[in-house]
Amino acid sequence: MIRFDRVTKIYNKGSSPALRDCSVEIDKGEFVFLVGPSGSGKTTFMRLLLREELPTSGRIWAAGRELGRLSNWRVPYLRRNLGCVFQDFRLLANKTAFENVAFVLEVIGRPRPVIESQVNQVLDLVGLGQKKHRFPSELSGGEQQRVAIARAFVNRPLVLLADEPTGNLDPETSIGIMKLLEKINKTGTTIVMATHDAGLVDMMRRRVVELDQGSIVRDQHRGVYG
């Protein structure tokens, strides 16, 4: 599903590498926590997967393709297989929950009836069936993150990348989001989640990949935060 083969990423020549010589393999259906101190390269890991950046050296496979060989015009089609969720939700303020989710399907050119049914289904899944016509400003932080997850998931991607999805949420709400991600993971979607939240990692007991200054220093099944 995802494979990093001796990947090094240096943003600016001369500066120290954001990732150094990382090799890791993640299978279909896994749930992986990416932990490590600030600046250890977690976001860089995600950006490489999305092909927002190319590695300085090494090779990356995602969704059956080697990203270094992917021509630019194929990148959008790659991204349709990778859903993303961020700490700051990134919802469009002028669209309702429904419209935010539907937007993804419009953008990739799905016909209207398909959009209608798929969006309603996924909003029910995240538990927002009742609030689908609210605007982001009318939803709590946790609810906004649920909309963001629905948006990332509506297209049934193979992988869901979550970069500190609970960073802006209080502990209780964070647990709710974790439960939702677990539910999505059970449908067979691979989940990679970067986080600082020791409590969550310890609670879930899933695979933990720890980065430090760009190197993978730990890769543990059923691991804890640190």
Ligand X SMILES: Nc1ncnc2c1ncn2[C@@H]1O[C@H](COP(=O)(O)OP(=O)(O)OP(=O)(O)O)[C@@H](O)[C@H]1O
- Residues in contact with other proteins by CB under 8 A are 50, 72-73, 75-80, 84, 90, 92-93, 103-104, 106-109, 111-112, 151, 155
Stretch that binds Mg ion, among 18-26, 36-44, 154-162, 174-182 (CB under 5 A): 36-44
Look at residue 41 and give the partner it binds from other proteins, ligand X, Mg ion, none, a contact being a CB closer than 5 to 8 Å depending on partner kind: ligand X
By the rule CB under 6 A, 41 interacts with ligand X: yes
By the rule CB under 8 A, 94 interacts with a second copy: no
By the rule CB under 5 A, 43 interacts with Mg ion: yes
Residues sharing a CB contact under 8 Å with residue 111, sequence separation 6 or more, in sequence order: none
Please pick, from the candidates 29, 68, 127, 141, the single residue that binds a second copy as defined by CB under 8 A.
141
Rg, the chain, Cα only: 17
By the rule CB under 8 A, 38 interacts with a second copy: yes
Rule CB under 6 A: which of 91-150 touch ligand X? 137, 141
Q: Alpha carbon of 133 to those of 18, 85, 97, 98: distances in Å? A: 41, 21, 6, 6
By the rule CB under 8 A, 36 interacts with a second copy: yes
Query: Please, what's the largest Cα pairwise distance for the chain?
Result: 53
Least distance (Å) from other proteins to the CB of residue 94?
Answer: 9
Phi, psi of 192 (to 5 degrees): -120, 120
CA distance 58 to 79: 20
Stretch that binds ligand X, among 37-45, 66-74, 122-130, 200-208 (CB under 6 A): 37-45
By the rule CB under 6 A, 39 interacts with ligand X: yes
By the rule CB under 6 A, 44 interacts with ligand X: yes
Decide if 19 contacts 194 (C-beta within 8 A). no
Least distance (Å) from a second copy to the CB of residue 170?
Answer: 4
Least distance (Å) from other proteins to the CB of residue 108?
Answer: 6
Least distance (Å) from a second copy to the CB of residue 11?
Answer: 8
Point out which residues bind a second copy (CB under 8 A): 12, 15, 36-39, 87, 137-138, 140-142, 164, 167-173, 196, 198-199, 226
Point out which residues bind ligand X (CB under 6 A): 11-12, 18, 36, 38-44, 137, 141, 168
Point out which residues bind Mg ion (CB under 5 A): 43
